Amino acid sequence: MIRIFPFLPLLILSIVIALSLATIHHIPHSEFVDLVNRAQDEWVADATFAADRTYADMKHLWMDSAFFDAEVAAADQSIELLGAVEALPAEQLGDSLDWRELEPHCLDYVLNQGQCGSCWAFGSSTALSDRFCIKTGKKSLLSPQDLVACDFAGQLGCHGGYPKRAYEYLEFFGSPSLACFPYTSGVTKVAGHCHHYCADGTAHPHRYYAQKFKSRSYKGVDAIKTALQDGPVTGVMHVYADFPHYKSGIYHHAAGKKLGGHAVAIVGYGVDRESSTPFWIVRNSWGKEWGESGYFRIRMGFNECGIESAASAGFPAV
């Protein structure tokens, strides 16, 4: 044992160097995943989701980092203007909250953005959909396609957008249901045309609105926890090269370069029983085959990948 010990630092150093160079030299996904799993034991990486695809092939799954930076700046400006949300006492927030368990009929789905960088539309429309269902007891998913095709206020459709602006659109223009305006951009790879009628030709569809001037930005653990008491919220984060390989566990960035920004729906929080690590429960928009049936958990309290920098949410107009 004593003879092996001197080689341990060298082994660790070799893994660190390999991880830092992995995405630069484009090593096979299987080798990269093996390095990630050897370097840490808090989450499990798997190469299945990214099999036969390069990072360039997957770039539609996230946005340029500039969208993340602008969303954070907008959140900071909003908080400075309106003031920070007063956080509830710790005893009211508790250690855990999972809207999947509280309202299973509302959160029994995971969508797939497909070949379109529309995560900003999915993160916003699904979080507000959940809040409508929680408020009314009736499930009706809002259409991310409406945001992608019709929200022109600085949004770039399949090339990225801003959740905060999406909520402003939902305040003034609302959204038809997903059943009325199905999502097609994941296949066509373009935003498509903005329609004011349903796919079946029905005129003047019912639209779901967020309450005007009520959408807010949230920053930090306690503020986001407080916002979650009313339902899921939209979060933004950095995407690194190891994230597409996430399979299970509590994610933290372990290896690889930054690839861009991403928008998701935060649906709760908890604490791992074995490690006592607090985490956020997050729904992705990459289908149920990815991660923990379409969800992932990410470390809380360290602003991991910027997840605590700029959450946003709207309130159903009912």
pLDDT per residue as tens digits for the range 136-170: 999 999 999 999 999 999 999 999 999 999 999 99
Burial of 22 (0-12, 13-18, 19+ CB in 10 A): buried
* Catalytic-role residue among 106, 198, 284, 305: 284
Q: Is 284 a catalytic residue?
A: yes
* Phi and psi based region of residue 315 (left: phi greater than 0; alpha: psi -120 to 50; beta: remaining): beta
Q: Is 119 a catalytic residue?
A: yes
Residue type, 237: M
Report pLDDT digits (tens) over 293-308. 999 999 999 999 999 9
Q: What's the per-residue H, E or C state across 236-289?
A: EEEEECCHHHEEEEEECCCCCCEEEEEEEEEEEEEECCCCCCEEEEEECCECCC
Section 230-256 average pLDDT: 98
The per-residue pLDDT for 14 is: 43
Q: How many CB atoms lie within 10 A of CB 122?
A: 29
DSSP state of 153: S
Report pLDDT digits (tens) over 248-267. 999 999 999 999 999 999 99
Q: Percent of the chain, pLDDT > 70?
A: 92
The per-residue pLDDT for 51 is: 87
Q: Is 150 a catalytic residue?
A: no
Report pLDDT digits (tens) over 92-150. 999 999 999 999 999 999 999 999 999 999 999 999 999 999 999 999 999 999 999 99
237 neighbors 316 (Cβ within 8 angstroms): no
* Catalytic-role residue among 29, 60, 262, 305: 262
* Predicted confidence (pLDDT) at residue 10 exceeds the cutoff of 60: no
* Catalytic-role residue among 119, 133, 180, 198: 119
The per-residue pLDDT for 137 is: 97
The per-residue pLDDT for 21 is: 45
Max Cα separation, the chain?
78
Burial of 290 (0-12, 13-18, 19+ CB in 10 A): buried
Q: Look at the domain 5-313 and name its fold.
A: Cathepsin B; Chain A (3.90.70)
62: pLDDT confidence band, cut at 50, 70 and 90? very high
The per-residue pLDDT for 12 is: 44
pTM above 0.75, yes or no: yes
Angle between helices 65-82 and 163-172 (to 10 degrees): 60
